[in-house]
Amino acid sequence: SSRDPRFSFILLPENVGKRKAQIAAIGQSSGDLVLNVDSDSTIAFDVVSKLASKMGDPEVGAVMGQLTASNSGDTWLTKLIDMEYWLACNEERAAQARFGAVMCCCGPCAMYRRSALASLLDQYETQLFRGKLSDFGEDRHLTILMLKAGFRTEYVPNAIVATVVPDTLKPYLRQQLRWARSTFRDTFLVLPLLRGLNPFLTLDVVGQNIGPLLLALSVVTGLAHFIMTATVPWWTILIIASMTIIRCSVVALHARQLRFLGFVLHTPINLFLLLPLKAYALCTL
C-alpha cells in the first residue's frame, strides 16, 4: 500500500526504463544496502537477511540469489527454462563466485552496496554504445562496473527468488536476443579486467563466447557435408548427442533430480534457434 510508512513510492512522469528508475530510487535511498527486485519476481522471506549477511564483507559490492521459474509447471518451455536457470546459477555463477567475480548479478534479485553505487551511477547512467545511450543489459553492466571498481561480486545459492519466465517461444527468443546483445557488448568491456582476476575467469569468459561459435561451426560443417555428399554426417550427430546425454546425466547426478535428463530437449532449441539468434545478435549489435 502507498500509505505504508515503511515504504516511499516514487512516481516518475513517464516510463523511463529500468536504468533511470533504478537511479531515481538509489538517489533517494539512505541505507547501506540497496536491493533490486524485478516487478515479476517474488523473494523468499529470508532472502534479504541471507544476502545482507554476505554483504557483511566490505570487499563485496554486489550479491545475487538463486533464480527459479515461478511458472515452471505451465508449459514444456517453462520447465526447460527453470532447468536453464538452475544451471546458470548453480554451475556458472557458483563457479565464478569461487573466485569472487560473478559476471552478472541478475535483475530478479540483486543486492548492492550503496556507497559503491554512488560512485558508479554517472558511468552507469551515461553508458554509450556506438555513440548512443545504452538502454539494455543493465544488470550485466552494473556488475562489471562493480568489478572494475575493485569490489567482489558473489552468489548465495540458498537465497531463493522466483520469477516469471516466458511460456512460449516468441517472447523467449526476444529475451534471448536482448541478453545475447548484452553479453557480446559487455564481453568487450570485461576483457581488460581479466588480467587482474583468476585465470579460470578468463577461461570462463572465452569459453562462453567461443564455445557457441565452435558448436555452430560443427553444425554448419555437418550441413555442408550433407549437401555436398548426400550422406548423413553421423559422427557429428553422434558426438553432439553423446555430449548432450553426458552433460544432462552429470547435472542430474549433481542436482539429484532426474528431471534434468529432460534437458536434452534444450539441445535442438540451442542448435536450430539460439545459435542463429546469437549470430543475428552479433551482426546487429
**Residue 1 cell numbers, joined:** 500500500
Given this model, what pLDDT does residue 258 score?
96
Q: Where are the beta strands (DSSP E) in 107-151?
A: 109-113, 128-129, 132-133
Given this model, what pLDDT does residue 1 score?
52
- Tens digit of pLDDT for each residue in 84-107? 999 999 999 999 999 999 999 998
Given this model, what pLDDT does residue 285 score?
79
Per the confidence metrics, is the pTM higher than 0.95? no
Whether residue 108 contacts residue 67, with contact meaning beta carbons closer than 8 Å, is answered with yes
- Taking the C-alpha atoms of residue 180 and residue 104, their distance in angstroms, rounded to an integer, is 13
In order of start, what are the domains of the chain with their CATH numbers? 18-284 (3.90.550)
Closest CA to 248 of 84, 53, 77: 84
Question: What are the residue ranges in the chain where pLDDT is below 50?
Answer: none
Given this model, what pLDDT does residue 130 score?
74
Phi-psi region of 130 (alpha: psi -120 to 50; beta: other; left: phi over 0): left
Counting DSSP H helices and E strands in the chain, the numbers are: 11, 7
Given this model, what pLDDT does residue 15 score?
85
Given this model, what pLDDT does residue 2 score?
62
